[in-house]
Every structure is written in structure tokens, then in C-alpha cells.
Amino acid sequence: MRAETRHQLKTDRFSRATIDAAERTAHWSVEHKSKLAVLVVVALVIAAAAAGTWYYLSQQDQKASLDLGQAVRTLDTPVRPPNMPPQPEEPSFASSSERATAAHKQFQSIVDKYPHTHSAEFARYFLGLTSADLGDNASAERDLQAVISSANSDVAALAKMALASVYRNTGRSKQAEELYKQLAAKPTSTVGKVAAQVELAATYKADNQPLEAKRIYETIQKENPASEAAQLASSKLQELK
């Protein structure tokens, strides 16, 4: 079914429901008729506006999704080995910072052009990642905090994971640990409990808290027996000895 047809049907359903409601009130006295007519017109205008807004946002999200896919492909484009010239038939970048800069511009464009779409949430998350890649930790923190505050729980969890990494890399271990604890306590489809626990333990280890790291690894073993997570935890415990 074409989008225009769906749009028209949606508007027709709104209109029909409003008219039916008006017909059911036909027994009202004559002095109410003019007021009722005004209300019906207002309701029809609101219904048409709602249908138009739905159609507009749907179209915007489709365009934003295409742009997001292109930006992600840019971020996934290979980096050429040193002194290797570019190949016209194979896109590549001379350095990871060049790649991050190009992708960052594309993600920023999505946020600017389609701010109210789901794709913009992911684009803002990637803005944080690319800012961190470029060494701009202040911008990374700002963008990731924005995602945590406004996005759905799955995207927000990714942003928390990335923000915790920024904290850890800038000497703010306590703040990183707090975010990892939050993620472990409320896992999502994008960030599981074990993933958060592993990062929390690594942060403890880097912060010269081997006993806390040991406790986390032992918890992973206990809660995930005979799994890859348990094997990873076992190897990490060996490193702590």
C-alpha cells in the first residue's frame, strides 16, 4: 500500500470518527448546534494535522536511516597501511583520525537535519565515540550524556558504556565504576550484565583494587558456569595472582 494511501485512510478514519460523534449528539437543542459545528471543524483540523505529522516523521526517519547507514559504513572503512597510496576502486583513509573526522561530520549532519528521529539518537551516540577517538573528551562526554538523558534504554546503555570508558581514560575511575555498576544492575539487549562486570573488574584492576576485581571475576564464574564468560573470568583471575 502506498504511503499516500495509508495517509489518506488514516485521515479518513479520524474524520469518520469525529463525524459519527457529532451525529450521536444530534438530539442536542438548537442553541448548541453552532458550538458543535465549531468543535467538529477544530477536531477535523487536529486530526488532519496529526496524520500529516505522522507521515512527515515517518519520511524523515527513513531518510535519516539511510544517512546513518552511510555514516556507519564510513566509520567501518579500512585505514591504509603507511605509505600506501589510495586505491580509487577501494575506499580507504590515511589514518584513523581522518576516518573519525569524516564520520563525525556525517553523524553531526544527521543530528542537525533529523533531530527528532530514532536515527538521530544513534548518530549522537556515534558523535560521542568519534569525539573520543579524536581526543575531544569534553565533546564526547557532552554528546554521550545527552544520549543517556534522552534516548531509549538500549541506546542509553551503549552511551553509558562509552562514557564510562571516557571516564576511565581520563582518570575518573570512580565515575566509571558507578556507570558499570548501573549497567550490571540493569542489563539491556545492547549491554549485558557480564559485559558490564568485565569492564568494572578491569577498571578496579587498573585502579589498583585487585581484591575488588577478583570478587567480580568470581561472581561471573559463579553466575555463568560452563560458559565463555566463566572461562574469561578464570583467565583474568590467573592474571591477578
**Contact of 103 with 75, CB cutoff 8 Å:** yes
pLDDT along the chain (241 residues), means of 10: 42 41 39 44 45 57 85 90 86 93 95 89 92 95 93 89 95 96 94 94 94 94 93 92 74
Q: pLDDT tens-digit profile of 46-99?
A: 444 444 445 456 677 788 888 888 888 998 899 999 888 888 888 999 999 999
* H helix intervals, the chain: 3-24, 33-75, 96-113, 118-133, 137-150, 153-169, 173-185, 193-206, 210-223, 228-240
At 198, is the secondary structure helix, strand, or coil? helix
**Contact of 216 with 230, CB cutoff 8 Å:** no
Name the phi and psi angles at 172, rounded to 5.
-110, 65
pLDDT at 34: 46
pLDDT at 57: 60
Q: For the chain, what are the domain ranges?
A: 173-241
Report the alpha-carbon distance of residue 36 to residue 31 in Å, rounded: 10
pLDDT at 99: 93
- Domain 173-241 bears CATH identifier 1.25.40.10: yes
pLDDT at 7: 41
